[in-house]
Amino acid sequence: MAQKTATLNLNNGSAPIELPILSGTMGPDVIDIRALHKQSGMFTYDPGYLSTASNRSSITFIDGEKGILLYRGYPIEQLAMHCDFIDVCYLLMNGELPTPEQKNSFDTIIKEHSMLHEQLVRFFNGFRRDAHPMAVMVGVVGALSAFYHDALDISDPDYRQKSAFRLVAKLPTIAAMAYKYNIGQPYVYPKNSLSYAENFLHMMFSVPSEEYVANPVIVRALDRILILHADHEQNASTSTVRLVGSSGANPFACVSSGISCLWGPAHGGANEACLNMLEEIGDVSRIDEYIKRVKDKDSNYRLMGFGHRVYKNFDPRAKLMRETCHEVLNELGLHNDRLFRLALQLEKIALEDDYFISRKLYPNVDFYSGIVQRALGIPTIMFTAIFAMARTVGWVAQWNEMVSDPDYKIGRPRQLYEGATMRDIPAAYSKR
């Protein structure tokens, strides 16, 4: 088939420029502008990457208009229904769902890597007790690079895989320890007889003096949260991981930077911000006041948990999380929960309001995930840490895909410079 091309006419007397058009297996075609600067001397301008595909990828696909999310081709709804988080980790890292034997050996490898070096455990003590768990995670995950000199050669696929196992395995331990440190309880070490989600709950909630058995409803709900947050193609934190990794930095440093990016309230920090917002609104009678605030251009106020750069009809993760929210609250006898009722009322009012309809602002996954996590007994400050734990597998899969690509280059955007033109320093300075 003939190569599709786009012709760019600059209307400045120069010859038209032919640019190749590339097609993926799904999704919009992309205009390959790599030769544009060489041929025209011009850059393109696209802050926030509104129209720019930054890389090729075979991991996750999103169709924002239709509300489709696929991991390696499988719809998120089917994965949430039929698989557990370990299946999804295997799928994201390897491209296919595991056979029972593959799953067993993958699960064993993850469990074998779940402990932390005792020296690393001491790092927690360096933080203030009231440090936010995300601050602790940025530091401790970054510090992992100081512990695994044996596998830092990123050109070796076996080392990359080992680092990926370590990260996926250790993130729950690090997140749970950050929490235990915050509340002043002893650290609880991982237990290999438990599933990934169950083990995390055990490390978060058990104490040495009592037996802890996790409620299966809570385990299932947490596992679903992990599946729904595992990857989301080139979102801000994943793009951060790729950009940091493009310089050849080690995967622990890359994931630490991903955690930093995720922390922001426009990204993963939205689940915590959403719960805080609901607490602040406090009562159904105050919703109108907050909707007015959103509409006031000078207030810069946003409803947390609403809107998405890519999903313009609905966020399929939000639909699943809403279902889980109902299930969990019913099963735990919390359906009259004050914040949940407030959230449902806010959702209803916003979905009927022209401000939200005209801007295609729908509840996103974070709108419901905070309410679910709160019902599971997870404190608000841990919400984004759990998101980071889930997203780690997506980060390492995307990082590994990038490093394995023979065409990968250091990420180096250009700019539209608007500062002072070249000038000489004042004479008074040259005399000094």
Q: What is d(CA 275, CA 271) in angstroms, rounded to the nearest whole number? A: 6
Furthest C-alpha separation in the chain: 81
Instruction: Closer to ligand CMC by CB, 206 or 364: give it.
Output: 364
**346-375 mask for ligand CMC (x: CB under 6 A)?**
-------------x-x--xxx---------
For residue 286, state whether it binds ligand CMC (rule: CB under 6 A).
Answer: no
For residue 388, state whether it binds ligand CMC (rule: CB under 6 A).
Answer: no
Instruction: Closer to ligand CMC by CB, 196 or 367: give it.
Output: 367
For residue 296, give Cα distances in angstroms to 163, 203, 292, 293, 302: 48, 44, 6, 5, 10
Query: Which tokens in the block code for residue 23?
Result: 């097609």
Question: Which range binds ligand CMC by CB under 6 A, 73-81, 145-153, 251-259, 265-273?
Answer: 265-273
Question: Which range binds ligand CMC by CB under 6 A, 124-132, 182-190, 301-309, 370-378?
Answer: 301-309
Q: What is d(CA 399, CA 294) in angstroms, rounded to the nearest whole number? A: 37
Which one of 89, 270, 320, 321 is in contact with ligand CMC (CB under 6 A)?
270
Q: Which of 232, 366, 407, 424 is catalytic?
A: 366
Residue 329 in contact with residue 283, Cβ under 8 Å? Answer: no
For residue 391, state whether it binds ligand CMC (rule: CB under 6 A).
Answer: no
Q: What is d(CA 268, CA 388) in angstroms, rounded to the nearest whole number? A: 8
Instruction: Closer to ligand CMC by CB, 65 or 405: give it.
Output: 65
How would DSSP label each residue in 328-376?
Answer: HHHHTT-TT-HHHHHHHHHHHHHHHSHHHHHTT--B-HHHHHHHHHHHT
Instruction: Closer to ligand CMC by CB, 21 or 266: give it.
Output: 266
Instruction: Closer to ligand CMC by CB, 296 or 407: give it.
Output: 296
Q: For the purposes of burial, counting CB atoms within 10 Å of the CB of 167, is it exposed (0-12), middle (13-18) or buried (19 or more)?
A: buried
Assess whether 366 carries a catalytic annotation: yes
Tell which positions 146-165 bind ligand CMC, by CB under 6 A: none
Q: DSSP secondary-structure letter at 117?
A: -
For residue 394, state whether it binds ligand CMC (rule: CB under 6 A).
Answer: no
How would DSSP label each residue in 209-267?
Answer: TS-----HHHHHHHHHHHHHTS--SS-HHHHHHHHHHTTT--HHHHHHHHHHHHTSTTT
Q: Which of 132, 231, 308, 315 is catalytic?
A: 308
Query: How many residues bind to ligand CMC according to rule CB under 6 A?
Result: 20
Assess whether 267 carries a catalytic annotation: no
CB of 374 to ligand CMC, least distance (A): 16
Question: Which range binds ligand CMC by CB under 6 A, 17-25, 135-143, 218-226, 263-271?
Answer: 263-271
CB of 189 to ligand CMC, least distance (A): 31
CB of 155 to ligand CMC, least distance (A): 31
Which one of 133, 172, 190, 268 is in contact with ligand CMC (CB under 6 A)?
268
Instruction: Closer to ligand CMC by CB, 303 or 371: give it.
Output: 303
Which one of 122, 309, 338, 348 is in contact with ligand CMC (CB under 6 A)?
309
Instruction: Closer to ligand CMC by CB, 206 or 235: give it.
Output: 235
Q: DSSP secondary-structure letter at 204?
A: H
Single-letter amino acid code for the residue at 334: L
For residue 183, state whether it binds ligand CMC (rule: CB under 6 A).
Answer: no
Using Cβ positions, the residue closest to ligand CMC within the complex turns out to be 307
CB of 241 to ligand CMC, least distance (A): 14
Nearest of 368, 44, 416 to residue 224 by alpha carbon: 368
Which one of 113, 202, 267, 322 is in contact with ligand CMC (CB under 6 A)?
267
For residue 306, state whether it binds ligand CMC (rule: CB under 6 A).
Answer: yes
For residue 235, state whether it binds ligand CMC (rule: CB under 6 A).
Answer: yes
For residue 390, give Cα distances in angstroms to 119, 200, 241, 250, 385: 25, 11, 15, 20, 9
Q: What is d(CA 255, CA 200) in angstroms, rounded to the nearest whole number? A: 19
In angstroms, the first-to-last Cα distance of the chain is: 68
For residue 307, state whether it binds ligand CMC (rule: CB under 6 A).
Answer: yes
Q: What is d(CA 29, CA 38) in angstroms, rounded to the nearest whole number? A: 22
- Residue numbers annotated as active site: 308, 366
Residues contributing to the site for ligand CMC (CB under 6 A)? 232, 235, 266-268, 270, 294, 302-309, 359, 361, 364-366
